[in-house]
Structure 1
Amino acid sequence: MKTLKQLERLRKAHKLIKLEKTGTPAEFAQKLYISERQLYITLEKLKDLDAPIYFNRKRSTYYYGFDFDLLVNVTVQVLVNEELKTIYAGCTILKENFSTARLLQ
């Protein structure tokens, strides 16, 4: 779930930056429910994705230097036992057979 939280944080940070409604770094961190240190890490992650992030002291907000968009899609799907057997190419079956084979020896 840590990854989902990080993706959601990136999405929310992007939205606030795009709207230019971040406030100071302390306010921005508070809006994301994280520390300022975590905020700077989040901003670095966005910059690693080539986000042109700048801070305007006069307006007291972060903004993008040019048009930048971030699309985050996450799909969570619950799989039943039969689907797992298909995905793992029968590993579940092999484990069951292996246990049985050991008992027969």
Structure 2
Amino acid sequence: MNNIKNLERLQRLHLLIEGENTGTPKELAALMGISERKVYQLVEELKHLNAAICYSRSRKTYYYCDDFKLMINISVTVLSNNEVTEIYGGSYFLKKKSFLQGSCGGQKYCGLNKVRICA
């Protein structure tokens, strides 16, 4: 589960950097509820993904020097009792969660019939 938590943090950091609203690294750490060291590690992870991240001392914020988009999608497939359940977790990472309102978050396929059941 640490990997999922790390992805959540990366996405949150990305959104803050994208909005140029991070504050200082110390303020950012407090905002995200993590250590300042972890902030630096997350910034390095984004840089490892080819994100050109800069810091403005006058505005006290991180920002992207060049265009950069980060999209995170999580999919889990559970097999039990001859049923396959697919769970999509991408809605958690969206800026506006209303995007998936009215759609089915999970799909259940019973055997080979592939009947879609929305709860």
Q: TM-score normalised to the size of structure 1? A: 0.74
The alignment partner of 1:14 has SS state of helix
CA distance in 2, matches of 1:6, 1:20: 21
Give the match for residue 31 of structure 1.
31
In structure 1, stretches of 5+ residues that fail to align are 85-105
Q: 2:21 maps to what in 1? A: 21
In terms of fraction of residues, the more helix-rich structure is 1
2:82 counterpart residue number: 82
Higher normalized strand content (fraction of residues): 2
Aligned length: 84
Compare relative contact order (CA 8 Å, sep 6+) and give the higher one, 1 or 2. Answer: 1
Q: Percent identity?
A: 50
2:44 & 2:72 partners in 1: Cα distance?
Answer: 17
User: Which residue of structure 1 aligns with residue 5 of structure 2?
Assistant: 5
State how far apart, in whole Å, the 2-side matches of 1:52 and 1:31 are: 22
- Residue 79 of structure 1 and its aligned partner are, at CA, apart by 2.5
> In the aligned structure 1, how far is the partner of 2:65 from the partner of 2:36?
22
5+ residue gaps in structure 2? 85-119
- The CA RMSD measured in Å over matched residues stands at 1.5
Tell whether 2:44 aligns with 1:44: yes
Q: Which of these two proteins has the greater Rg computed from alpha carbons? A: 1
